């Protein structure tokens, strides 16, 4: 009897240790609101990406951890997976190890360049058209041009990541990723310097070089700076310098400057430059967002955007928002004015994270 009780006690103790060494978290975001854009009727949509994620770590001893993260993206108004041809785990699907050396991961996720530059614009990398992250901040750059049409343009599949410790060398952090040349299937035909009959990158083509992405950040009290550089699968290159300063506790001022070079695929006017100035100001539970930026492709009109937004926190996990934005002289990939070339965007909604 005593042996049985001791066995039960030991089993419970070991079970407790095993449980303490493994942690799995379910998390996500639900964002929905009313959106009105020029030339469109009022519709229900989103300001932020709606996510359902699973992440976990396992203690392996001596400061080493195994980790994984899976993230689904979905549409709030229909409950369907975000854009029909995107993968189930559009957000990310990565597994790796973490220790004193930093973190290494393999799978699919944001490139280091995209992940870093998104933090230096006032809409904190939200994909809403009211923000600047998906177009002006990156000068119209696409990280994954060989992915199917409609796929996210800021993530890589079949890639390897390294992130240094966050406070390397007194506030510096470096991040890097490299992807294989694999094509993800059903790729868009990119004519480039070829012809429609003989495109430089036909449907299903592999990359002409291994894509790679680098970023570095420096954080020191109220100031932060970043530099990012990336070359994608068709050898388009982009770099960005960015900075944030908080002159007072509740005010953040930020700026980015970006250059894109499509010289490998564009026979004429391959370069695009862009800059964005932004600010956020917290007032109790509320926060004002504001920004202005320009994107100037060679030989084309300058796209100009002004945006203003407001967020009101009901709790740590829930906030209401309203945005207004005007984007003028929008150009196509060929450098011609789009139709319409000026778009006004308005939204109001609620965001909840769990």
Whether residue 102 contacts residue 113, with contact meaning beta carbons closer than 8 Å, is answered with: no
Asked if residue 136 is part of any domain, the answer here is yes
Could you tell me the CATH number of the domain that includes residue 111? 2.40.160.10
- Report, as ranges of residue numbers, the positions in the chain whose pLDDT lies below 50: 1-20
Whether residue 132 contacts residue 118, with contact meaning beta carbons closer than 8 Å, is answered with: no
Asked if residue 7 is part of any domain, the answer here is no
Asked if residue 2 is part of any domain, the answer here is no
pLDDT for 186 equals 66
Asked if residue 263 is part of any domain, the answer here is yes
Asked if residue 1 is part of any domain, the answer here is no
Asked if residue 10 is part of any domain, the answer here is no
pLDDT for 107 equals 97
pLDDT for 1 equals 42
pLDDT for 31 equals 98
Asked if residue 17 is part of any domain, the answer here is no
Q: 76: left (phi > 0), else alpha (psi -120 to 50), else beta?
A: alpha
- Give the model confidence (pLDDT) of 94-121 as tens digits: 999 999 999 999 999 999 999 999 999 9
Q: Using CA atoms, how far apart are residues 98 and 104, in angstroms rounded to an integer?
A: 7
Tell me how far CA of residue 294 lies from CA of 87, 274, 301, 324, in angstroms. Answer: 32, 6, 10, 17
The reported pTM is 0.90
Q: Using CA atoms, how far apart are residues 180 and 12, in angstroms rounded to an integer?
A: 46
Asked if residue 244 is part of any domain, the answer here is yes
pLDDT for 139 equals 97
pLDDT for 17 equals 40
Tokens of 282: 């917290």
How many residues are listed for the chain in this entry?
354
Residue 111's domain comprises: 26-353
Closest by Cα among 331, 335, 154, 296 to 228: 154
Given 3-state DSSP classes, what are the helix, strand and coil percentages for the chain, each rounded to the nearest 5? 10, 50, 40
What is the DSSP secondary-structure string of 295-349? EEETTSPPEEEEEEEEEEESSSSEEEEEEEEEEES-B-TTSPBPSSS-EEEEEEE
Q: Using CA atoms, how far apart are residues 130 and 310, in angstroms rounded to an integer?
A: 11
DSSP, collapsed to helix, strand or coil, labels residue 11 as helix
Number of domains present in the structure of the chain: 1
Q: Using CA atoms, how far apart are residues 309 and 126, in angstroms rounded to an integer?
A: 12
Q: Using CA atoms, how far apart are residues 8 and 32, in angstroms rounded to an integer?
A: 50
């Amino acid at each position: 009897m005593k042996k049985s009780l001791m066995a039960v006690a030991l089993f419970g103790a070991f079970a407790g240790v095993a449980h303490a060494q493994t942690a799995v978290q379910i998390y996500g975001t639900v964002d929905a609101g009313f959106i009105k854009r020029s030339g469109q009727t009022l519709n229900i949509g989103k300001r932020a990406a709606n996510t359902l994620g699973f992440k976990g770590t396992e203690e392996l001893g001596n400061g080493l951890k195994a980790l994984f993260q899976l993230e689904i993206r979905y549409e709030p108004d229909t409950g369907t997976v975000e854009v029909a041809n995107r993968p189930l785990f559009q957000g990310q699907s990565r597994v790796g190890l973490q220790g004193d050396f930093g973190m290494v991961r393999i799978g699919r996720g944001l490139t280091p360049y995209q992940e870093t530059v998104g933090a230096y614009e006032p809409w904190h990398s939200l994909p809403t058209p009211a923000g600047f992250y998906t177009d002006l901040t990156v000068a119209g750059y696409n990280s994954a041009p060989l992915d199917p049409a409609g796929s996210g343009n800021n993530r890589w599949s079949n890639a390897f990541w390294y992130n240094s410790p966050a406070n390397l060398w007194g506030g510096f952090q470096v991040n890097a990723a490299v992807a294989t040349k694999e094509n993800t299937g059903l790729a868009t035909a990119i004519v480039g310097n070829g012809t429609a009959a003989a495109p430089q990158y036909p449907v299903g083509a592999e990359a002409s070089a291994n894509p790679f992405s680098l970023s570095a950040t420096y954080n020191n009290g109220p100031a932060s700076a970043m530099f990012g550089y990336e070359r994608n699968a068709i050898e388009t290159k982009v770099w960005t310098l960015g900075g944030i300063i908080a002159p007072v506790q509740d005010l953040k001022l930020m700026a980015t400057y970006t250059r894109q070079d499509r010289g490998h695929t564009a026979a004429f006017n391959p370069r695009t430059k862009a800059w964005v100035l932004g600010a956020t100001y917290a007032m109790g539970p509320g926060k004002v967002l504001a920004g202005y930026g320009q994107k100037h492709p060679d030989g084309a009109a300058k796209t100009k955007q002004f945006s203003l937004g407001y967020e009101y926190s009901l709790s740590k996990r829930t906030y209401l928002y309203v945005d207004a934005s005007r984007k003028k002289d929008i150009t196509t990939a060929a450098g011609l004015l789009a139709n319409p070339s000026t778009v006004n965007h308005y939204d109001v909604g609620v965001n909840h994270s769990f």
